């Protein structure tokens, strides 16, 4: 027999949904059969499975350890990467992601910010392997693998839900720094439509609406220019795949080091001079709106993710930092 005491991270969901996570290899028919036979009970009573769980509820599994083990696969992938944590409280973390690190895994063998985050929470004693059966902390925004900067992650269910809502409704202020090709002297707000080719994982910016294209909006202002390169602050108003990289390239100012959308000759010159292997794009500032509830302690706060050493050295050498 195993006993599960429902915590805040499991509360609010249906009993059958929680059981499907805990016994993630079990068919639904098995779970409902165990509920009918009272081999799984809620607060000592027979349950149907559609009950909404609240913190403190007691779920008992009158099953052998062997049966539970057979229907439960391990969800833990320990890593050795140490995260650069900018801020942490009981609900969220803000992480400064280096270029080259995945935000989320693409295939099972990948290691990403999510796996590093879970490893950190497990090894620091903030999370147990049993907790992971019913709740998985995760990131709420994604950066391209070769883009550095601020990643926001939810440690608790409330944190994950509230952060995800803020990103979805665009109330967070999201600002990037990049080195862009060309001499940009005036701020601009550009709009367009973004169409994605799933086969090539490449996007195209269009000026008119077409089927499958999403509206995009990007705002930027030059901080310092030096002839052929400009340090830009970019305000990401919408948040679509490769939006900043493709949008700036579409107006003739691609991000330095971006081989997918940029100028190969320019990028080759930076690779030769500095060994640069990725785009110089960094998610550097996050501004929270006025908030109530679980994240009220973050209301109207601003967080900065320091630039990478490589970005600073190249920008300083070009005279724009």
Residues carrying an active site annotation: 144
Query: Rounded distance, CA 156 to CA 154, Å?
Result: 6
Query: Rounded distance, CA 243 to CA 191, Å?
Result: 11
Spatial neighbors of 294 by CB under 8 A, at least 6 apart, are 91, 156, 158, 159, 162
What's 104-120 look like in SS3?
CCCCCCCCEHHHHHHHH
Count CB atoms within 10 A of the CB of residue 186. 7
Contact between residue 214 and residue 207 where contact means Cβ atoms under 8 Å apart: no
Q: How far is CA 202 from the centre of its chain?
A: 20
Given CA atoms 137, 142, 144, 146 in this order, what sign does their dihedral have?
Answer: negative
Give which of 84, 93, 201 is closest to 141, Cα–Cα: 93
């Amino acid at each position: 027999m195993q006993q599960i005491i429902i915590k805040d991270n499991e509360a609010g969901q249906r009993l059958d949904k929680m059981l499907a996570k805990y016994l993630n290899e079990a068919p639904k028919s098995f779970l409902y059969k165990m509920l009918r036979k009272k081999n799984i009970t809620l607060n000592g009573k027979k349950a149907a499975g559609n009950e909404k769980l609240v913190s403190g509820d007691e779920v008992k599994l009158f099953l052998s350890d062997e049966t539970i083990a057979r229907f439960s696969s391990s969800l833990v992938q320990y890593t050795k990467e140490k995260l650069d944590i900018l801020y942490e409280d009981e609900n969220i973390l803000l992480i400064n992601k280096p270029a080259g690190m995945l935000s989320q895994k693409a295939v099972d063998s990948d290691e990403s910010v999510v796996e590093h985050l879970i490893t950190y929470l497990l090894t620091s004693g903030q999370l147990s392997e049993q907790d992971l059966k019913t709740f998985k902390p995760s990131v709420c925004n994604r950066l391209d693998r070769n883009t550095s900067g601020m990643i926001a992650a939810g440690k608790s269910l409330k944190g994950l839900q509230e952060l995800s809502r803020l990103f979805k409704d665009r109330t967070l202020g999201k600002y990037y720094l990049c080195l862009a090709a060309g001499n940009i002297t005036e701020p601009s707000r550009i709009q367009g439509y973004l169409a994605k080719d799933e086969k090539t994982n490449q996007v195209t910016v269009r000026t008119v609406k077409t089927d499958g294209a999403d509206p995009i909006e990007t705002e930027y202002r030059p901080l310092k220019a030096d002839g052929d390169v400009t340090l830009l602050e970019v305000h990401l108003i919408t948040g679509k795949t490769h939006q900043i990289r493709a949008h700036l390239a579409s107006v003739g100012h691609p991000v330095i080091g971006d081989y997918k959308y940029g100028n190969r000759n320019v990028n080759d010159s930076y690779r030769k001079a500095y060994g640069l292997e990725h785009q110089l794009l960094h998610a550097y500032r996050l501004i929270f709106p006025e908030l109530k509830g679980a994240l009220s302690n973050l209301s109207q706060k601003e967080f900065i993710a320091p630039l990478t050493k490589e970005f600073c050295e190249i920008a300083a050498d070009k005279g724009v930092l």
